[in-house]
Structure 1
Amino acid sequence: MTSVSPSDREGHSSTQSSHRLLAYSDALISIIATVMILPVAHTKVEDNEVI
């Protein structure tokens, strides 16, 4: 069985933390984008309005 040094364990932990942070930021950006799009999807455009 191979021994794992504390620095190896810390490296894995920081990698896992960075992946969690990336997943969290991706989810947050997706939620913000969805909320920003919702009002536009339900906006009614009149026939006489110029786009």
Structure 2
Amino acid sequence: MFFSNDVFVKRVQRVANKLIIKSANPDYEPFEIDLSEETDESIAIIGKVVWLGRRI
């Protein structure tokens, strides 16, 4: 799976040697990233969403 320089806001759960990536939007299926596989790509968690405002 290749993501290039894309940025996602997702929920991340670590289970054993993998990350489970989930979206709050039900239109997008969860996906897994196997951390035990050696690749040239790296994963960086660069922030945390702490607040979300919406107009009601």
Q: Give TM class, smaller chain.
A: under 0.3
User: TM-score w.r.t. structure 2 length?
Assistant: 0.17
Compare the two structures and name the one with the higher strand fraction: 2
More helix by share: 1
Q: Which entry has the higher C-alpha Rg, 1 or 2? A: 1
User: TM-score if structure 1 supplies the norm length?
Assistant: 0.18
Task: With a CA cutoff of 8 Å and minimum separation of 6, indicate the structure with the bigger relative contact order.
Answer: 2
